Amino acid sequence: MFRKLIALIMISLLPMLAKAGEPAKTSKPEEMTLMLEWFVNPDHGPIIIAQQQGYFDKTGVKVTLQEPAEPDLPPKLVAAGDVDLAIFYQTNLIQAASDGLPLSWAGTLIATPLDGLIVLDDGPIKSLADMKGKSIGFSVAGTEKAVLDTIFKPYGFGADDVKMINVGWNLSSSLMTGRVDALLHGYRNFELNSLKLHKSKGRMFFLEEHGVPAYDELVFIANSKTANKEAIRRFLQAVEMGAQFITNHPDEAWDIFKSYNPGTLDNELNKLAWYDTANRFALRPSAMDKGRYLRYAEYLKEHKEIKQLPDMSQLMLELY
């Protein structure tokens, strides 16, 4: 009799259990603006899939995507309250928060480093020891000194022994034309493939293999004072669905992604980058790891990139 009673209770609960796993629905969607850190590319896969597959509609959020006119624009707009969310770099977020800007982590997009020091495979740089006195191209100023001091330290020199050149978005071309001897901020899923397509093979020294603490490459940031947590929760739920779809169906997801704007997205570079990025998306974008962020903050303070550790209660938005 007891077993029958339990069975009847479980049967009665099935509809509620099924609904518990469904995305939250609302009659009035939350509206938000997301500023990308770059033009639309495979790094934004889960976002575009969520848009194309209607996941934002399912979770009750209406998202307007914007591309920046300049690489350093996204955090400024978030801090000013002109956009609700932006994609930014974990490393730069810690610096900005330490300086007192009202910026907080609000989710993770790319959960591994993509950056590294790129050189031409057939060039004169065979090891990091060869970089002394050479030039390095970069795009967005940030933690270059700490990184270069770390990776060059075993060879007896540091960041002050190389020449840094801001090449903007012309990363690959600046290396291929010899304007610089190496690249920092060139991604392993893009610049290496770009060089390959231009018949100019590149080689990367991975930062996390040369003493730099591991970090999240791309994160979502919000204004720590005015963030709409409910909208962000719904947004991240849809992004999670997008990341899961890419993991389960990478080929179909690529077709859906490029259909967002075939004229600019459907090319060989983006296709190569897509498959090199698919396993790097955060499958739990709302999962918070304060230890990971604190370790990197302590690393930056040790290397005098920041004067003080950011307030962790402000740095990472408590969404739940």
Q: How do the pLDDT tens digits run along the chain, 320 residues long?
A: 444 444 444 445 544 444 444 454 555 889 999 999 989 999 999 999 999 999 999 999 999 999 998 878 999 999 999 999 999 999 999 999 999 999 999 999 999 999 999 999 999 999 999 999 999 998 877 789 999 999 999 999 999 999 999 988 788 899 999 999 999 988 999 999 999 999 999 999 999 999 999 999 999 999 999 999 999 999 999 999 999 999 999 999 999 999 999 999 999 999 999 999 999 999 999 999 999 999 999 999 999 999 999 999 999 999 98
What's the token pair of residue 155?
Answer: 């060879």
The domain spans of the chain are 26-112+216-315, 116-209
- Tell the burial category of 225 from Cβ atoms under 10 Å away from its Cβ (0-12, 13-18, 19+): exposed
Cβ 183 vs Cβ 169: under 8 Å: no
Domain at 116-209, CATH class: alpha beta
Q: What is the pLDDT of residue 26?
A: 52
Q: How many CB atoms lie within 10 A of CB 288?
A: 16
Secondary structure (3-state) at 140? coil
Domain 26-112+216-315: homologous superfamily in CATH: Periplasmic binding protein-like II (3.40.190.10)
Question: H helices within 187-310, ranges in order?
Answer: 191-197, 229-248, 250-258, 262-265, 268-277, 290-302
CA distance linking residue 125 with residue 122, whole number of Å:
8
Matching fold, domains 26-112+216-315 and 116-209: yes
3 state DSSP class of 213: coil
3-state secondary structure (DSSP) of residue 222 = strand
Tell me the whole-structure pTM to 2 decimals: 0.88
Q: Quote the CA–CA distance of 155 and 157 in Å, as a whole number.
A: 6
